[in-house]
Amino acid sequence: MVRIYLRDRGFSIREQSLGEDEIIGASGKGVVDIRELGLLPGVERVAATSKPYELASRETRPEDTIVTVGGKEPGGLVKIGGTRISVIAGPCAVESRDQIMETAAMVRESGAVILRGGAFKPRTSPYAFQGLGMKGLEYMKAAGEAQGMPIVTEVVSPELAVQMQDLTDMFQIGARNMQNYELLKKVGSLGKPVLLKRGPSATIEEWLLSAEYLLASGTRDVVLCERGIRTFETYTRNTLDISAIPVVKALSHLPVIVDPSHAVGIRAKVSSAGLAAIAAGADGLTIEVHPRPDEALSDGPQSLYPEQFERLMRDIEALAPVVGKELLRTPLPSHGGRGRHAEKAPAKAADAGGGPASEGDTRDIPVAFSGESGAFAEQALMRVFGEESPRMRCSSFRSIFDAVLDGSAMAGVVPVENSLAGSVHENYDLFLRYPDIAIVGELKLRIVHCLIGDEKADLDTIKIVRSHPQGFAQCRDFLDKYPQWHLEACNDTATAVASIAREGATKVAAIAGEAAAKIHGLRVLKTGIETNPLNYTRFVIITRRIGDEVFVPPSLGSEPPNKASLVFSVPDTPGSLFACLKILSERGINLSKLESRPIQGQPWRYLFYVDVNIPGSEGMFDTVIEELKTKAEDFRFLGAYRGSL
Ligand code: PEP
Ligand code: MN
C-alpha cells in the first residue's frame, strides 16, 4: 500500500531493514501529504529527511543504535553506544604470536573490551612493514579467545573480506579506504559489525555517506571513528576534529568513537586527546598500545606504554559519570578472589531447597528498583545490567528487599547516599532487618536535576513543585529563589513527573532527571538546577545470601572486591570505638565512610556504619574482620564488592 502510494506520486523507492524496523526510502520530485502517508496501515512514523544519507540519519531513527560485537563464547559480547564507554586497544600491527598475546593480556587487565591489531597494513610506503596477513589474523583470533575479547582488524580488499569473515568479530575500514565503495559494499553485505574510520580529507557528510553504503548493503552494526583529519597544521600527525563528535552524534544514531593515537601521533599527547573526546560525547576510544613501543614495527611513537594505558582507563572511569556514562568493563577470565560466591542465582523461595536456579534463568529474572520509569535508580540499573535487562518496579525500598529475598528479583538497586543530601537512612535500616541480603556492587550516578512541566507551563505559571525530598534538598538554592512555590513530596522523582503527565497541569512542575521528562512526554523548563554540579548518588546492588554463599550477577564482573561495608555497635566503655578503629588503622586500612545511627528502641545507643577499602592481600582482611568481631558488638558484614570511583 505504502509502496503503491509513493510510486503513484512519482517517487522511486528503496527498502531496508534496520534492526526490527522496515524502512521504505522514497526520493523524487513528487508531492506527498506526510500526514496522509502516516495514516496508511503499518506506518509507524514518517520522517522527511533533508539528508542524502537516510539509514544513517537520526531523522530516520531518533534513538541511539547500540552495536553488538562478538557474542560467541569465549570471545564475549561487547556493546558500543548508549550510556557506555567502550574502549578498544591493542598494537598498531600484529607482529608475532607472542606480541599479540602479551598485549592482549595487558590491555584486557586494564579494562579494554575489544582487541585491535592490523594483519593487513595499508602503509604509505610500499617498503614499510605490511603486516603478517592471514597468519597475523589467526594469531589475533587466538589472543582474543585467550582473553575473552572480540577482535577488530582492518580489511583492505573485497576478496580478503570474504577470507577474513570467520576469523574476525568486527571489520575495520581504514581511513584511506573510507571511499572505496566496492569494499564498503562487500563488507556491508557480510553483515558483521564495521568500524568505519573517517577519511583524512573527508567531510562529515562524505563520512556519513560511506556509513550509508555499509547500512544499505546489509549490516546494521556500524561504528563511526574520528581519527583526525588533514589540515595545515603539521605539529601533530593529523588534527583531531573534536567538534565532529557532537555534530555527528546529532546527525546520526550510530555510535561514534575516537582514535586519538592516529589523530595526534605523539604518545605523550594521546591520553589528553582521548579524554577530550570522551568529554565531547564519544562512545568510546580505540588506542594503540605496545608492550615495548620502541621495538614496534609500525606506529611506535604514538603507541602507549601499558602503564600509560592503565592510567588513561582510570581517568576515563573518573570522567564517565560527568558525561552521564559508565566505562564498560567485562569480567576478567577466572580471576576469582571475590570470596565465597555462588555463580548462579538463588532460586525462588518456594524451591529454595531444590538448589540454585540454572544459569540461563538469571537472564529472565528481573532486577528490582523503586520508582516509576525514568527514575534515577532505573538509570543506575541500566548502567550496571544493560538497557534491555528485565526490570521490576517496586513501590518502596522495602519491597525491593522482599523481592530479592523471595527470588522474584535476581538483584535490587537501592540508593544509600547522596553527595549533597547525605545518607538514605531507610535503606541502612533495612540492611539490619534483612540479614540475608548482601551488597555485591556499587555505582555512583551523577544526578542532574531539571524542572519539568507541561508543554504550556513556564516558571511564572507554576504554583506547586513535586519531587522526592532528596530532590528538594539537592536543589535548595534554586528553590529558595521561588519562595511562593508550594512543595509536595512524592515517593520518587519519576513518580512526581508521571503525576504531571497524568494531570496535564500547567500549575504543577516536578524536579527529576531528563530521562523522566522524555519518557513521560514533558518539557524540561530548566536544567542543571542542583545546588552543586558535583552531585552524585551512590547506589548499591543487593542480592540474596544463602548460608555463606552470595550470588554475584555476571554483569558485575569477576574482579576481586576492593571495598566492604560493615555495621557494628560498641560497648558503652571508654575507648571502645577507638579500639575497633585501631585494628583498621594498624593494618593501613582506609575508611571511606564512618557514620553513626541511633539504634531503634535503645535511646542514646548507636550503630556505626563503616566502609573500608580492602587491601590487596585478602587473607589479611579476613583476620581483620575476625579481630573486629572480638571488639565490636552486633557486628554485621553487609558485603564485599568492587567500588566505583
Ligand atoms: C589503524 O587503525 O591501524 C589505522 C591504520 O588507522 P587509519 O586508517 O585511521 O590511519
Ligand atoms: Mn597504526
In terms of phi and psi (left: phi > 0; alpha: psi -120 to 50; beta: otherwise), the region of 636 is beta
Choose the most confident range, by mean pLDDT, from 100-104, 124-128, 424-428, 533-537: 100-104
Q: Is the pLDDT of residue 146 over 60?
A: yes
**3-state class (DSSP) for residue 180:** coil
Tell how far the Cα of 265 is from the centroid of ligand 2, in angstroms.
Answer: 9
Asked if 509 and 419 touch (Cβ cutoff 8 Å), the reply is no
Q: Is the pLDDT of residue 20 over 90?
A: no
Q: Is the pLDDT of residue 251 over 50?
A: yes
Q: Is the pLDDT of residue 16 over 90?
A: no
Q: Which tens digit of pLDDT belongs to each residue from 468-488?
A: 999 999 999 999 999 999 999
568 is known as an active-site residue: no
Ligand closest in space to the Cα of 259: 1
Residue 43 Cα distances to 23, 34, 40, 542, angstroms: 10, 11, 6, 43
Q: Is the pLDDT of residue 17 over 80?
A: no
More confident residue, 525 or 27: 525
- Confidence band, pLDDT 50/70/90 cuts, at residue 340: very low
More confident residue, 470 or 76: 470
Tell how far the Cα of 156 is from the centroid of ligand 2, in angstroms.
Answer: 14
Protein residues near ligand 2, an ion, with CB under 5 A: 92, 299
- Confidence band, pLDDT 50/70/90 cuts, at residue 420: confident
Q: Residue 107: CB partners within 8 Å, gap ≥ 6?
A: 89, 90, 115, 289, 306, 309
Average of per-residue pLDDT across 416-439: 92
Closest CA to 198 of 182, 223, 175, 215: 175
Kind and range of the H or E element at 543? Answer: strand 536-546
Q: Is the pLDDT of residue 361 over 70?
A: no
CATH of 67-327, one of 3.20.20.150, 3.20.20.70, 3.30.70.20, 3.40.50.720: 3.20.20.70
Q: Which atom of ligand 1 is nearest to the CA of 225?
A: 9
Mean pLDDT check: name the lowest of 16-20, 325-329, 368-372, 510-514.
Answer: 16-20
Which single residue is written with the C-alpha cell 586500612? 589
Ranges for all domains in the chain classified under CATH 3.30.70.260:
560-645
**Would you identify the CATH topology of the domain 560-645?**
Alpha-Beta Plaits (3.30.70)
Q: Is any ligand 1 atom within 6 A of the Cβ of residue 341?
A: no
pLDDT score for 360: 45
DSSP bridge partners of 69 = 78
Q: Is the pLDDT of residue 343 over 70?
A: no
Let me know how long the chain is.
645
CA 271 to CA 279: how far, in whole Å?
Answer: 12
- Confidence band, pLDDT 50/70/90 cuts, at residue 502: confident
Q: Which of 219, 330, 493, 537 is catalytic?
A: 537
Mean pLDDT check: name the lowest of 1-15, 187-201, 244-258, 451-465.
Answer: 1-15
pLDDT above 90 as % of the chain: 72
Mean pLDDT check: name the lowest of 50-54, 307-311, 401-405, 530-534.
Answer: 50-54
Ranges for all domains in the chain classified under CATH 3.20.20.70:
67-327
**3-state class (DSSP) for residue 448:** coil
Q: Is the pLDDT of residue 592 over 80?
A: yes
CA 180 to CA 233: how far, in whole Å?
Answer: 26
How many helices and strands, by DSSP H and E, does the chain display? 21, 30
Q: Is the pLDDT of residue 353 over 60?
A: no
Tell how far the Cα of 620 is from the centroid of ligand 1, in angstroms.
Answer: 47
Q: Which tens digit of pLDDT belongs to each residue from 159-217?
A: 999 999 999 999 999 999 999 999 999 999 999 999 999 999 999 999 999 999 999 99
Q: Is any ligand 1 atom within 6 A of the Cβ of residue 325?
A: no
Superfamily of domain 450-527: Periplasmic binding protein-like II (3.40.190.10)
- φ, ψ dihedrals at 422, nearest 5°: 90, -165
**Angle, helix 425-433 to helix 397-405, in steps of 10 degrees:** 30
Q: Is the pLDDT of residue 266 over 90?
A: yes
What's the sign of the alpha-carbon dihedral 491, 492, 493, 494? negative
What is the rounded end-to-end Cα distance, in angstroms, of the chain? 55
Asked if 313 and 287 touch (Cβ cutoff 8 Å), the reply is no
Q: Is the pLDDT of residue 339 over 70?
A: no
Q: Is any ligand 1 atom within 6 A of the Cβ of residue 92?
A: yes
Q: Residue 14: CB partners within 8 Å, gap ≥ 6?
A: 24, 25, 26, 54, 216
Q: Is the pLDDT of residue 74 over 80?
A: no
pLDDT score for 557: 78
**Which residue type occupies 317?**
E
Q: Which of 369, 397, 472, 539 is catalytic?
A: 539
DSSP per residue over 463-507, as a string? -EEEE-HHHHHHTHHHHHT-TTPEEEE-SSHHHHHHHHHHH--SS
**3-state class (DSSP) for residue 548:** coil
Grid coordinates representing 253?
Answer: 544514531
Asked if 261 and 286 touch (Cβ cutoff 8 Å), the reply is yes
pLDDT score for 10: 85
pLDDT score for 357: 37
Asked if the peptide bond before residue 74 counts as cis, ω within 30 degrees of 0, the response is yes
Q: Is the pLDDT of residue 352 over 50?
A: no
pLDDT averaged over the chain?
Answer: 90
506 is known as an active-site residue: no
Ranges for all domains in the chain classified under CATH 3.40.190.10:
450-527
pLDDT score for 140: 98
pLDDT score for 19: 67
Q: Is the pLDDT of residue 492 over 70?
A: yes
Average of per-residue pLDDT across 581-603: 90
Chain-centre distance for alpha carbon 153: 24
pLDDT score for 645: 67
Average of per-residue pLDDT across 621-629: 91
pLDDT above 70 as % of the chain: 93
Query: Measured at the alpha carbon of residue 204, what is the angle toward residues 518 and 63, in degrees to the nearest 5?
Result: 20
Grid coordinates representing 45?
Answer: 512514523
Q: Is any ligand 1 atom within 6 A of the Cβ of residue 199?
A: no
Q: Residue 311: CB partners within 8 Å, gap ≥ 6?
A: 271
Q: Is any ligand 1 atom within 6 A of the Cβ of residue 262?
A: yes
Kind and range of the H or E element at 392? Answer: strand 391-394
